[in-house]
Structure 1
Amino acid sequence: MGRKSLFFGILLVFLLNSKVGQCSISEKIPLGAIFEQGTDDVQTAFKFAIANHNQNDSGRRFELQAYVDVINTADAFKLSRLICNQFARGVYSMVGAVSPDSFDTLHSYSNTFQMPFVTPWFPEKVLAPSSGFLDFAISMRPEYHQAIIDTVKYYGWRRIIYLYDSNDGLLRLQQIYQAFAPGNENFQVRTVRRISNVTDALHFLRGLEEQSRWENKYVVLDCSADMAKEIVVGHVRDIALGRRTYHYLLSGLVMDDRWESEVVEYGAINITGFRIVDGSRKPVKEFLEGWKRLDPVQSQGAGRETISAQAALIYDAVFVLVEAFNKILRKKPDNFKNINTRAGRGQFYNNGSKILDCYPPVGWVSPWEHGDKISRYLRKVEIEGLTGEVRFSEEGRRQNYTLHVVEMTVNSAMVKVAEWSDETGFVPVAAKYTRLKPAAHIERNKTYIVTTIVEEPYISVRKEEPGELLMGNDRFEGYCKDLAELIAKKLKINYELRIVKDGKYGTENNEVKGGWDGMVGELVRNEADLAIAPITITSERERVIDFSKPFMSLGISIMIKKPMKQKPGVFSFLNPLSQEIWISVLFAFVGVSIVLFIVSRFSPYEWRILHPTDEPMRHPPHLHTNSGGTMANDFSLLNSLWFSLAAFMQQGGDISPRSISGRIVGACWWFFTLIIISSYTANLAAFLTVERMVVPINSPEDLASQTEVEYGTLYHGATWDFFRRSQITLHSRMWEFMNSRKHVFVKTYDEGIRRVRQSKGKYALLIETPKNDYINERDPCDTMKVGRNFDSKGFGVATPLGSPLRDAVNLAVLSLKEDGELTKLKNKWWYDRTECPKDKQESMRNELSLSNVAGVFYILIGGLFVAMGVAALEFCYKSHLEAKRAKIPISDALKNKARLTLGVGRDFDNGRYYTPANQIGPTTDNETPHSNTHTQV
């Protein structure tokens, strides 16, 4: 009986010990996690790793409990409070994937409080090994700047273009500089440029293309995977950029991301990059099986056959922490005592304190007591993860890792061309190039459905003539109808044109099947085989359908109502010379007259002697000599003005200077008038025959900087989407203006054009250039295009993804463009059928109307009236003088003058009143009258 009691006692102790062991399994180690907003796949990989560990019952000593915070700011104060909240939760280590700006704050707290911090990546050279301090941050991403250098050397590039988007990229560039021998003339960085977005990068590449179009360009692109993809797609779709002359080397581990083979742009240009996840390894295959089964709605970023490098690194980071904790617990199982619950930790959590306090009352920081130990054990971890062998140096850097160098070339899928490791360097491998897709087969006997949209001049419905019955494709006419005929002829296929059912081009619409409406939706749902219409090639559409090369290049332009031509002013004949010139000529005229008067007074050759008995009133300015004679000078001030005016009008005067000085003045004045009159005559015809238009808007900047003229676009069209998504300041400001005035948007182009014509210049329509040019050639010819285009894009022939017609249609479009057929079609439907003939306008433009020269008539009539008025004044004045001298009434003098003026009484005997002007002094029998032909003014 005693032996039985002893046996059951031993059994009870064993069961109790077993129960205690089972309880230890349920113990939880808390982890703090901080992620930047927009890292959905990284967060999903982190949670997936936590779940996989906690669900693994074999040999598990503890569970992980994660406290996850997602931030959307780099504000140091807000981030500090968040970090302190994590510390207060009693976390044993921090995990995070944040931007470089946020990393600095997190890294500082990690080292200050000795809190281990594991991250997929952090900036280059965070803490120099020579500092002597233990860095509590560990990066899962290996250094790869040497891989970039070795790859550049492998390809033999002598000049590279380096584009980067962060300070991290600039540090890698510095390391590249240092790797090559200083002064090495065989290698140079041709251009370095920091880019802020895709638009900035493409703008820089366009400028580079203009400088050296045919030179090979090797571009090292140091940016995120998403930006790299968008730059590649934007490059290929930009008709201004070449392809064969470019080779991109994508810095970073962006090639692990999903590069969809159906996006044709990825295989349209040479791309080289690095990949760290080897999909052929068994652990990776097993992981991807589970990763692929995750619901992408609940687990964003998952549900794919691939995983990004960042997500793979954070997944490995969790198991690095797990291995470090296991090592600690295997060596000393009670190291983390009382960690089951927060209340259970009590004073044993950290140096007698319940929490790790960022603001201790004692005034000094109390670090995490297990931080140093955990950090040192992290550096001793060696595991096989998704990113290969995970091992760290004493500085917390990855070592003994391997990168795969892969290429994506024209018409070739991604293929590995080399392996690079920190131990062996660059090792080329035999590349097995495979085509993205096999050659497609086109069924010749099939009738392909071509969807299109009614819009002149692309497609319009023909009107039946009396007795005419139109059927099939003959019901339509237009540019796209002719284009469809040419493509069908090239491909040797039959086709049927159908008008899109909902009358739309195609935008995302979750309410319809396939998620797209319009022509794009019909292609997505395979209701049509082709779309030949003015449909703009955009990145959103290209994700769901394929496009050919652009058959027409275009951009967004401004359409306004053509302003009324200004009628020429009454004095438009003065326009050939500016106001400043006319004023200068006037001053020159007065100045020359005064100078001529002065030099004539000083020069003795301009004076002549008159008979002493001549009356002073009958002669020019005179002086009495000592001998009783009189000296006369023809160039009085009025005569000088008359001489200058006659010369300016290119008419001869009846007096001319006789002195050398006077002739010099005259010659200079004649030369001056020759040049002025010649210049005036040369410009006169152009100014009188051209009617000018005053355009209120001349550029996009003019339109955006005012509010009097409203402007809008087609609602939910490609132009509308362009302004909605654009990050350019000018475009964003215009979008804000339009979006705040919903009435500026129009449902159809016809509505917008009608609004432009009826708004009296107070509305402008943002419309694509081909449509703008076409409407401007249509009656009533009252619209016009102003300013430059906002962008550059193209219309393409669309096909469903993976359609066998895609490549054939692409080649057909290129062939038609090279043969000039597309240019002929454009001229046929735009300019040959214009309703605004220019010949008539040109002939009318060359005819002068009365309004062009009305000012000349006004001057002539005004001059005549002035002359008549002056003559009347002279008549009255002379009559007054004669009446005073003859001592007769003024009325008699006026009557005598009137009879003489009217031709009555020419033999009037009062000779003293009417002595002929050419008789100077009395004559004798031996003398002849002295004749003076100089006019007296």
Structure 2
Amino acid sequence: MLNYHFSLVLLFFFSFICCSFDKHGGGLLLPAFGMAQNTTIVHVGLVLDLEILAGKRSHASISMALDDFYASHPSYKTRLLIHSRDSKQDIIHAASAALDLMKNTQAQVIIGPYRSSQAEFIINIGNKIQVPVISFSATSPALAPERTPYFVRTTNNDSSQVAAISAFVKSFGWREVVLVYEDTSFGSGIIPYLVDVFQSIGAKVPYRSIISLSVNDDQLKEELYKLMAMQTRVFIVHMEPHLASRLFTKVNEVGMMEEGYVWIMTDVIGNMLDSLNSRSVEAMQGAVAMRSYMPRSEEMENFTRRWKARFRQENPISEPPEPTVFEARAYDTLWTLAMAVENATVSSSSFRKLPQGYNSTDLGGLSVSQNGPKLLEAILSTRFRGIAGDFVLVNGQLNSSVYEIVNVIGKAGRRIAFWTPELGIFKQLNSTSSVSLKTVIWPGDTTSLPKGWEMPRDKERKLKILVPVKNGFKEFVNIAFDNTTNRTTVTGYCIDVFEAVMQLLPYAVSYEYVPYPNAKGQIADNYTNMVLQVSSQFDAVVGDTTIIASRSKYVDFTLPYTESGVSMIVPVKAEKRNMWIFLTPLSSELWLWTLGLFLFIGLILCLIETRINPEFQGPPLQQLGMIFYFSFSILTFAHRERLVSNLSRIIVLLWVFVVLILTSAYTASLTSFLTVQPLEPTVTDVSELLKNNKIVGYQDGSYVADLLKGLGFKAYQLKNYSSLEQYIDALNKSEVAAIFDDIPSLKLFVSQNCANVAMAGKNIIGKIYKAAHIAMVGKTFKTGGFGFVFPLGSPLARDVSRAILSLTQSNKMTTIERKWFGDVTSCPHGGDDDPGLSNLKLQSFGGLFLITGVVTALTFFLHISHVLFSKQG
């Protein structure tokens, strides 16, 4: 009985102390009801920023949860005694408060601190002395329960939302994002996860904007102007709400909350949207935020009503805001701890001194908790339905993976979608709708989808486009410098194509041409060196630049706008005639069919005339000779035998007509072969050049030199030339055995030297015109064709590629090609399909032979019928 009265006195004493302390100034929190006899008191430390709104909100949740839990569980044999300390928004004060609680009050559990940056030291100490540290708000991935098992996170890890953010970015096709985050361990903790997840979807992070907590307004504006000058328009913001409010206020001032911009905020801001002041929310209009999903229920509505009353009670001069997910999780954390303490059958505080030599004056008095291991196990195994949803800890962290994506419109966030790891983004929970997102209202109060990338609006900022200075091949790029006006004029096929493409872009791009290496006449020494300038100083290269693999490691190419490949031009020599040239006009197949038809006609004539014509009668050998003689004598119209049968006369008349046509065609074709000098290339394959150690040429500054070295040519076998005229001179003077170049350059060569150029197919020597003395022969080595060059990851390369596709499918491209190259397709060339030099084929006389055969067979059938009819008569 005495013990019972003593317990009551103790309770009133603690209550008096509690009320006499400032509510947020290091006082005690006790349940507002009596305790049964033999109740075990478990000391718990609470470290919060009690002088700011976030700390006051959490304190209201903890105190209400303490009362609610023991009101619902009056028979529990344990009671939590909360010792609260103010961390004063400082890492040192937070650590000092935690040490005080562990050392002087022997707290068996620490709840808090509120910020991730304050938690690291406390977690390490708790891990050392086996005191669980439970945080409902420290979300940084840098705080890993895997490394410090006595750290329990009763909220989401920041890294759990990166997949939701990347899914949102991917759904709109944005390929570049800029990360904007505070310069703390909390701010940087999520960054590696974001970079990795964006890399997995093919999105790049060209810049990271790190904002110091001590940044002033001028410095903030300076950083925003830097962002505005960039091309990327998608920004991911990860920082504490108070710094985010400052940031978005300045974002509005500098004009970066207009149409075309995309602002995506992480859940640390999204979870606090409903509690931000109206000025901050107004500055964020059109932004999108991730937010941990809390299902709406009667319990949540009841919690909200009672929480506001508790907050007003503890903070009479403050208007109660709406509770956020952090207040709900603080409430659930206290319930978890109270259940775990009871289930673990924790005894009175029992600590064992650390071994001597623990090197710190303050830390030397710490002891190891004997209840820590079983208390930690009980906390991790606790499962229940909390205010914020199902409370399940997995690997020391809350297992909550449903996020809602909200659009900041009006006074708060409007939900536009949900996200889960299993389903990705979808419009409604438990819905099969194919629509994944509600309509988003972007900055600038528009529903038009931002491209995610735009040219900088600074009118003075122009793209610097490198163009190569050339000695020859000026049809592709020609740079003319006027010393009088000090102006540079750039023209050519590549320039016309580029300017036509830029006109097809959906936005205006300001640019200027910069000659490489300069405008004073110095020639571009190496195209690869020019391409490498893009990744460091310049924005693009426009010219006859070939797409090859080695260059693509450093820059991005557009789709090609010309044919691809490298071939070679070689001299041709007169083909030797042989003694059988008279057989050439007719194909072998035609010769065989003609001979067969001759014999067939002779045979039918003999069969018809034998009965009635003495000239066709005689021994079998004589008749056989008559068949050959009469058939072939018709070829020269030398037959003298008289024909008796009218059927025979019809056959001969038709056959004479066929022979007339055959001889006329044969005579014309033979005349062509005898009068046109046949030519053949001196070389037909690269292997011949390598085998005979021949010297070959290439265009000055071209990558073709590397290609030839890769094929096996030595450096001394290579000679460079800078114009088409030099090509012809080198071949005519036998300086080189062949010249290698891109197909587009060879097309230009063909158009300008049509009378002197012939074509031959791969490994096939075609018949070449009399005036020809050069041929393009051999294997075509595949390359990517000509393309425009941009820095790695430049979205402009994608837009220009799309415009190139549109241009190549229009008549505009044909017009540009004719302007600079002429009508190349009208240039005659040799080959197997050349009708002037090809031998005659059977197909050309197929119809004539068919008619002859049918008429001959029909007359023979009539003859047989007549003979049979006469015998019967």
Give the alignment's TM-score, normalised by structure 2: 0.40
